[in-house]
Every structure is written in C-alpha cells, then in structure tokens.
Structure 1
C-alpha cells in the first residue's frame, strides 16, 4: 500500500514538474515558431500559436546569414565580452574568495562584510561613479569599459569563499612542507578542487554578461561596438521595426547559453549545492 502511495506521489511530482517546465518554455517555443514567420505576418498578428504552416519558412534566417552583417558584429562583440568576463571573473573572484576562506589576516572579516554590503547595493547606484571612472580613464566605447566593473563580482567572491571553506587545509600544510609556494598551492592543488564551483559560476557569469543591457548601453557609443541586447533593441524604432532580424536573431542568441550549460552541466548542480552549504 505504501509503495503504491509513493508511486502516486512520484507520478504527481513528475507531472507537476513537467507542467512547470512547459510554462517556463512557453516563451521560447513561441519565439522559435515566430522566427519562421514572415515579418509582415508578425506585424499584423503578433506572436501567436495560430499557425499557418504555408507561411512558415527560413527567409528570416537566410536574411541574417546573407544580408545582416551588423548582427554578426553584435554577436561577435557579445562573444568576446562574455568570454573575457568569464575568464577574468573566475580568475580574480576565485582568488579573493579563496583568500578570505583559507587565510586569517587582519581586517579579513571587515573585508568580507564589505563584500556583503556591496552585494546588497543595486548596481544602478554604482553606475554614475563607474561611468565617470570610465570617462577619466578614456575607456568609453571599448570592451574593457564593459568588462572591468564585472571582473570581481561580489556574488562570485561570496560563492567561492563558501565553497573554499569546505576544502581541507591539511593539503595546504602538506604542500608547504614539500616547498610549494602559496601561489603554487592555489593553482596546482586548491583550484582544481574548486572545479565544480568554477563551472557553476562560469554559467552564471556568462549568462549575466550575455544578457547585460544597461551598462553596455551607457559605455558603448558606436554601432559596430554594440552587444546583442543593444543591437537588437535598435531594430525597434518609431520609423520601422525589422522583425526579420529581431525574432530570428533573438533565437540565435540562446544558442551560446545552451552550449555553455551543456558543457558545464555535470558540475553545475554539485557546485551550487556544495558552495551553498559550507561555512
């Protein structure tokens, strides 16, 4: 009797999760279907599930691949900025989080409290001084203007600290006895052990950078430097809407994030779980 009850609960849970997944995927499915419709139909009917199969085609994607060079410039900018952000953010944030977790130094707790305080401050409050800093350093309309404020993210520092608290300090003592330097201990021993946390944060930081709109909008000026969110937004104007690129281009923007998650998914859940319970 108990087994039947447990099976019923399992079927109910699976059905509930399937329904939630379908609701979550609804915008993506509607966007995907709309990307095969002519722009004239989209302007007349909007995004709808009332599909006329005779109107579906690959014209929108053909237009992107053959006549929309600006779109691929935006795509390349987003790829470069996201890649630089992920690499630098993982490198510096992991070092800071590791140091806060594994070393006892004067002012360490104060520094960690400041990290938590910055974590609670909305980025919109920090934009004005950051923008002035970019002007003073003459970095406006460059990749580094977008990347620099993101390379030591407070949330990443907090995450890596929590994960590093679960690492055995005995390994550090053993490495010191063998003559390893502190940098050698970090890069050769401790950093490989932080692999799941690095993978999880790579997905989160990559997603945040890929979808970042407000800050790049402030510091990027020329059309050839725009990222995908900004570039796609420019297609909607009072004088006309280029749905050929907008809808199909939006579908194409999902691909890198899906590939990033597929590549790191085996570490994603374990990295979030372990990093969230230590400390």
Structure 2
C-alpha cells in the first residue's frame, strides 16, 4: 500500500524533527570529544566549544592517560568491577523479589509492595547516614562491598520487575508444576527467559547509575587506589592546579562502557520499558 503524498511529507517532517533533536543531544558529546584533543591553554581561553584552532589538536592528553596516569586505570578497573557485579546481583535479586510480589499470593504481599514504594520515595540523602553507620559496624569501609551493597536490591528495580512480571502468563507456572518442576525451576527455566526485555532495560539503567555514582563511593572509600572513576577524576581539580585537558580526555573514555552496554542491550531496551510501564 503506497502512502499518500501528504503522508509521505508528514513522515519526512517527523524524521527531520527527530534528526534535529538527535543532533542537539549529540552537541555536548561532540564538543567534549573535540575538546579532549585540545591543549589546556586553549581550553582556558575558549572553553568547551566547537570553536577551535585545528592546528592545535593533538593526542597528548590521551597519551598521558595511557602511559603516565597509572591511577586512572586503577579507577577505571574499580568502576568496571563494581558496576559489573552490581548489575549482575541487582538483576538476580531484584527480579526474584519483583517476580514473587507479582505472581505469588502470600500474607503481607501488598504491605511489602507498599514498603517498596515508600522506600522508593525516600531520598538517598536521608539514608546515607544510617547506611554509613551500618558499613562502619560491619567493618566494610573502603571496600567494594560497601559501595555495592545498597544497590543490590534497588526499590526501583523491584518495582520495575514486579510491573513486568504481572504480564507473564500464570498458566505456564501451573503447567510446569504439573510436570513436576520446582518453584526455582519455574523461575529460572521458564519465567526468567520471558523477562529478558526487562532484564536488558534494567541492566542499562542500573549500569548507568552505578557507573556514574559519585556521592556514596565518596563517603565509603578512603584510599586513592580504591576510588571509582567519578571520584578519581574529581581529584584532578585541586586548589593548586586544574588538569582540565586530562580531565576531559578521561571523561571521554568513561563514556565508552556505557555506549557498549546500550548497544548490546538496546534491542530489548524500548520493549522492556514499554511493557513494564503499562502492566499493573
């Protein structure tokens, strides 16, 4: 079926609109990328912008990061480890909790769900002090565990998986029970594969949150070799000198894992958010 000329014109207008929006969204990233090849003197003179002297572009900032800045790669490795483990554990535990709240009838289920919603509405700044005292009592200060523990069962992830699991067919559970499958077998072999879109969407969101997390790691981490990337890059700005050129180059490198994570899971991202958002 061929589109009418008016429909084709409308389609072109819509596509052009979204192209313009995409270019506007990419403008800060492009400016940051170009600025990472500029020397510190030009950055101080012109700032982060698309206005630059082509002859001044060089790769000295990246050479410094790859060869001299040893701590940078320690910070990078710490962020990768913390983010990867946080994503895996958060998806595992949060999906189980959300699945149970959605598909099992037990006493206190609604109360637990209301408790999840209540915690979701509490700002993290209010919980920082009790969590910090808890980490001290458990002797977890300056460890990966202290950074990851509050995010392993995130209320937003539990709520998201609960909403998605409400749309799963209970008939599959009944059929599996008739065939002699255990409840864990039903979850891991039948239901969890059906939740793949929600897992992919939450992997991106949890990964982005963990990778960019600054405040909580700043509170519980002490030694320089344990810092994550946001904290490590912040240490480059001091009262005695600001390495803006290295800071910008290091910031560009931090974008790479998030882009790869989104590319890997993007085919499920929209489906996971859409389906999970309309169930209930």
Q: Note whether the superposition's TM-score is higher than 0.5.
A: yes
Partner of 2:165: 164
On the 8 A contact 2:43/2:245 being kept in 1, the answer is no
1:212 aligns with 2:213: yes
What does residue 133 of structure 2 align with? Answer: 132
Query: Deviation at 1:3?
Result: 2.0
Q: What whole-Å deviation, never above 9, does each CA across 1:74-124 have from its counterpart, x for those lacking one?
A: 000000000010000000000000000010000000100111111111111
Post-superposition CA distance 1:25-79 (Å, at most 9, x none): 1111100000001122212322122221110111111111010111000000000
Cα offsets for 1:226-247 (capped at 9, x unmatched): 1001111111111101123201
Distance 1:65 1:51 in 2: 24
Question: 1:30 maps to what in 2?
Answer: 31
1:259 corresponds to? 260
Structure 1 stretch displaced more, 8-17 or 141-150: 8-17
Distance in 2 (CA, whole Å) between partners of 1:148 and 1:47 is: 37
Q: Is the 8 A contact 1:200 1:267 kept in 2?
A: yes
2:273 matches 1:272? yes
8 A contact 2:97–2:158 mirrored in 1: yes
CA distance in 2, matches of 1:245, 1:79: 20
Counterpart of 2:96 in structure 1 is 95
Contact 2:99 2:162 in 1 (8 A): yes
Which whole-Å CA distance do the structure 2 matches of 1:275 and 1:6 have between them? 31
In the superposition, the TM-score normalised over structure 1's length comes to: 0.97
State the superposition RMSD in angstroms: 1.0
Which moved further from structure 2: 14-23 or 135-144?
Answer: 14-23
Partner of 1:197: 198
Q: Any idea what SS the aligned residue of 1:50 has?
A: coil
Tell me the SS of whatever aligns to 2:52. coil
Q: 2:58 maps to which residue?
A: 57
- Looking at structure 2, the residues matched to 244 and 46 of structure 1 have their Cα atoms a distance apart, in angstroms, of 11
In 2, are the aligned partners of 1:141 and 1:225 still within 8 Å (CA)? yes
SS in 1 for 2:23: helix
Gapped runs of 5+ residues in structure 1?
none
For the residues of structure 2 that align with 1:18 and 1:130, how far apart are their CA atoms? Answer: 44
Trace 1:221-260 onto structure 2 (pairs within 5 A).
Answer: 221-260=222-261
- The answer on whether the counterparts of 2:31 and 2:50 sit within 8 Å (CA) in structure 1 is yes
Figure out how many residues of one structure are paired with residues of the other and give that number: 278
3-state SS of the aligned residue for 1:215? Answer: helix
Report if the CA contact (8 A) 2:142-2:220 is conserved.
yes
Instruction: State the distance in 1 between where 2:28 and 2:50 align.
Output: 11
Cα contact 1:37–1:55 (8 A) shared by 2: yes
Describe the SS at the equivalent of 1:251. helix
Shifted more, 237-246 versus 120-129: the winner is 237-246
Aligned match of 2:48: 47
| Residues 97 and 157, structure 1, Cα contact 8 Å, conserved in 2 | yes
Looking at structure 2, the residues matched to 102 and 50 of structure 1 have their Cα atoms a distance apart, in angstroms, of 57
Which secondary structure state, in structure 1, belongs to the residue aligned with residue 167 of structure 2?
A: coil
> Could you tell me whether the CA contact under 8 Å between 1:63 and 1:244 is conserved in 2?
no
- Whole-Å separation in 1 of the counterparts to 2:120 and 2:16: 37
Q: 1:169 Cα deviation (Å)?
A: 0.7
Measured against aligned partners, the alpha-carbon deviations of 1:9-35 in whole angstroms (never above 9, x if no partner) come to 222212221121111111111000000
